[in-house]
C-alpha cells in the first residue's frame, strides 16, 4: 500500500493505492485501485503480469510480434536506464516533465498540471515508491516511464514517447516502438529482482480512444484484473468541508 497526504484548510487529504480495506483515519480519503468495493466506487479495469514466473516464462506470454520487437531492441543501439527513488533528483524530474509536455503537445493537447505533478512525484519519492525509467537512442531519450510500487505491486504511472512527432521517420518510429516494449521488459525484470509479485499496466480501457494502447499492453500477456476507485469522507469537519465544496460546485453549475 502507498499513502501520500497533505492538508488543506486543516483537513487531511490522503491518496491511498492498493488498499486491502478502508482505513479509519479522519479526512478525505481517495482510494486508488483498492481491492474492496464500497458505496459510490467505480470499477477500474487493468492488466496484471505475474513477476513470480521465470524470465523465460514471462517472455513466453508475450505475443509473437511483441517478443520479436523486444528481442530486436537488444540488437539495436538502444540504452535502458531505471532510476530508483534514492537516486532521482529534481533535474531528472524536470527533464521527464519537459519530455512529458512535448509528448502531450504531439497529441495536440497540453499538460496543464505540471507543478502538481512534480509535487506528487516528490511525495512518492519520499515514500521510496517511485522509479523513473527511460530508453535512449544515439544519446537521445525517446521513451520515458514512471512507476509507483509497494512491497508487492509495481504500477505504470506515466508513459511517453517521441513516436508521434511529425519529423519522425518510419524507421525511427519502429526503433522507438521497440525501445518502448523492451523498456517495459527491463522494468518487469527490475521489479522481479526486487521481490515484487505483480506488474500492473495502469489501466486497460476499452473505449475507442484508448483501444490501441490497451492492445499494446495486452500483447505482454497480462491477466485482466478489476479493482476500485472511491472517495470516503470521514469525520465531521471533513464532511462539512466536502458539503460546502459540493454546494459551491452546484451553484456554479
Local confidence pLDDT in tens for the 253 residues of the chain: 999 988 777 788 889 999 999 988 878 889 999 999 998 899 999 999 999 999 999 999 999 999 999 999 999 889 999 999 999 999 999 999 999 988 888 776 777 788 999 999 999 999 999 999 999 998 899 999 999 999 999 999 999 998 655 455 566 788 999 999 999 999 999 999 999 999 999 999 877 778 889 999 999 999 999 999 999 886 665 565 555 455 444 434 4
17 and 74 co-located in one domain? no
The strand order across the sheet containing 2-8 reads 2-8, 11-17, 27-34, 223-234, 42-50, 198-200, 153-161, 140-149, 130-137, 78-84
147 and 209 co-located in one domain? yes
Gap between the Cα atoms of 70 and 62, Å rounded:
9
37 and 131 co-located in one domain? no
209 and 89 co-located in one domain? yes
Where are the alpha helices (H) located in the chain, listed in sequence order? 55-60, 64-73, 90-106, 114-126, 170-193, 211-218, 236-252
On whether the CB atoms of residues 183 and 137 are closer than 8 A, the answer is no
Domain with residue 108: its CATH number is: 3.40.630.30
197 and 242 co-located in one domain? no
pTM over 0.75: yes
87 and 120 co-located in one domain? yes
39 and 60 co-located in one domain? no
Following DSSP, what letter does each residue of 39-74 receive, concatenated?
A: TT-EEEEEEEEETTS-HHHHHHTS-HHHHHHHHHHT
122 and 239 co-located in one domain? no
126 and 207 co-located in one domain? yes
114 and 164 co-located in one domain? yes
The conformational region for residue 177 under phi > 0 = left, psi -120 to 50 = alpha, else beta, is: alpha
Which residue range forms the structural domain that includes residue 71?
Answer: 49-222
237 and 186 co-located in one domain? no
165 and 235 co-located in one domain? no
The tally of domains found in the chain comes to 2
Amino acid at each position: 500500500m502507498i499513502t501520500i497526504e497533505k492538508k488543506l484548510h486543516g483537513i487531511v487529504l490522503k491518496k491511498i493505492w492498493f488498499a486491502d480495506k478502508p482505513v479509519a483515519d479522519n479526512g478525505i480519503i481517495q482510494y486508488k485501485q483498492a481491492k474492496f468495493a464500497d458505496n459510490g466506487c467505480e470499477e477500474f479495469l487493468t492488466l496484471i503480469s505475474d513477476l513470480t514466473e521465470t524470465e523465460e516464462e514471462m517472455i513466453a506470454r508475450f505475443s509473437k510480434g511483441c517478443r520479436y520487437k523486444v528481442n530486436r531492441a537488444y540488437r539495436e543501439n538502444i540504452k535502458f536506464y531505471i532510476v530508483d527513488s534514492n537516486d532521482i533528483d529534481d533535474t531528472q524530474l524536470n527533464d521527464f516533465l519537459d519530455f512529458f509536455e512535448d509528448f502531450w503537445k504531439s497529441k495536440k493537447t497540453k499538460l496543464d498540471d505540471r507543478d502538481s505533478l512534480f509535487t506528487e512525484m516528490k511525495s512518492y519519492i519520499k515514500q521510496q515508491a517511485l522509479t523513473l525509467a527511460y530508453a535512449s537512442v544515439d544519446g537521445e531519450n525517446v521513451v520515458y516511464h514512471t512507476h509507483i510500487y509497494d512491497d508487492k505491486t509495481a504500477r505504470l504511472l506515466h508513459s511517453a514517447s517521441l513516436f508521434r512527432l511529425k519529423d519522425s521517420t518510419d524507421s525511427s518510429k519502429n526503433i522507438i516502438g521497440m525501445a518502448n516494449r523492451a523498456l517495459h521488459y527491463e522494468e518487469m525484470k527490475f521489479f522481479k529482482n526486487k521481490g515484487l509479485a505483480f506488474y500492473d499496466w495502469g489501466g486497460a480501457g476499452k473505449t475507442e480512444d484508448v483501444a490501441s494502447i490497451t492492445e499494446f499492453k495486452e500483447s505482454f500477456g497480462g491477466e485482466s484484473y478489476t479493482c476500485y476507485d472511491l472517495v470516503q469522507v470521514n469525520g465531521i469537519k471533513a464532511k462539512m468541508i466536502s458539503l460546502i465544496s459540493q454546494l459551491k460546485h452546484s451553484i456554479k453549475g
